[in-house]
Structure formats: C-alpha cells, structure tokens
Structure 1
Amino acid sequence: MTVDRWFRDIGAPESLRKLTLDQLVIGLLNEKPDRVSAFTFARALHFIGRGNSSAGRSNRCTSTIRKRAPRGFCEPR
C-alpha cells in the first residue's frame, strides 16, 4: 500500500495533504506519496518519534546510540 492510498483510506483532507502531509513524505523519504510504501513512511515517523532525530534536541546522544556510535560521535562539537 502506498502512502497516497493510505492517506485516502484514513480520510485525510486533500487540503491538509497538499499543504503538509505530502511535503512531509517527500522531505522524509525523498519520494512522492504515490510511489512510496506506507510501511516505510510509518517506520520513518516511528524513528523520529522515538527521539532519534537531533532536530530541536540537545547534542547529547541516548545510551543506545552511545553504545553503537563510533568514538567521538557523541562528543559536543
């Protein structure tokens, strides 16, 4: 199922899609909603929602990232 179909199935208004949702899909996945999997989009949203994005957050790494990150990755710049 594509993101486009998923948005239609959940009844997302066309105006909201044009202004926000479609742009979010393109920004996150670099692909148009009619060409990308809804599962992939949902996983990207889940990843961001877990705090794995540095946008608007401090420069500190979470403990999970610290364990896997290369040396120096989590140090302040």
Structure 2
Amino acid sequence: MPMQANEIEELLRITFPDAQIVVEGSDGVHMSAMVIDESFRGKNRVQQQRAVYAALKGKMDGPSGELHALALTTKAPE
C-alpha cells in the first residue's frame, strides 16, 4: 500500500523530533522530503541521507517497499 505524506512525516519525526520537515507528493509512491536538523551538522550528504532512510524503518527496502522513490533534501540549520 502506498504511503501518504503524513505517514512519512510521522516516521521522520520519531528520529528527528526538532527538525523542520516538509514532505510532498500526492501519488503515495514518488515523494519528496526536506529535512533540516541539527544532527546533520558535520555530516556529509550521504551520511545525512542514510540517517533519513534509516528513520523510514525499511519502508523503501526493495521492490516490495511501500515507498518507491523519495527525493531528499537534507541539511543542518543555518
């Protein structure tokens, strides 16, 4: 079953409770997310994105994953 934006945000909010999070997309399969969180400071983009994928708790794993594609923007606050 495809995931809705609010479901993705709820999962991310568990790991990043103080983050600025914006999730967009209406088809439930191809979505985008922006996560701005202090925990990203000093981490490279790959490390930041891995943290986001880990927060999704396997929802993107393999062809049977509920979420097919997630375009990510991650950064530390300015």
Q: Give TM class, smaller chain.
A: under 0.3
Q: TM-score normalised to the size of structure 2?
A: 0.28
Give the number of the structure whose residues are more often strand, by fraction: 2
Higher relative contact order (CA 8 A, sep 6+): 2
Q: TM-score normalised to the size of structure 1?
A: 0.28
Give the number of the structure whose residues are more often helix, by fraction: 1
- Who wins on radius of gyration, i.e. which is larger? 1
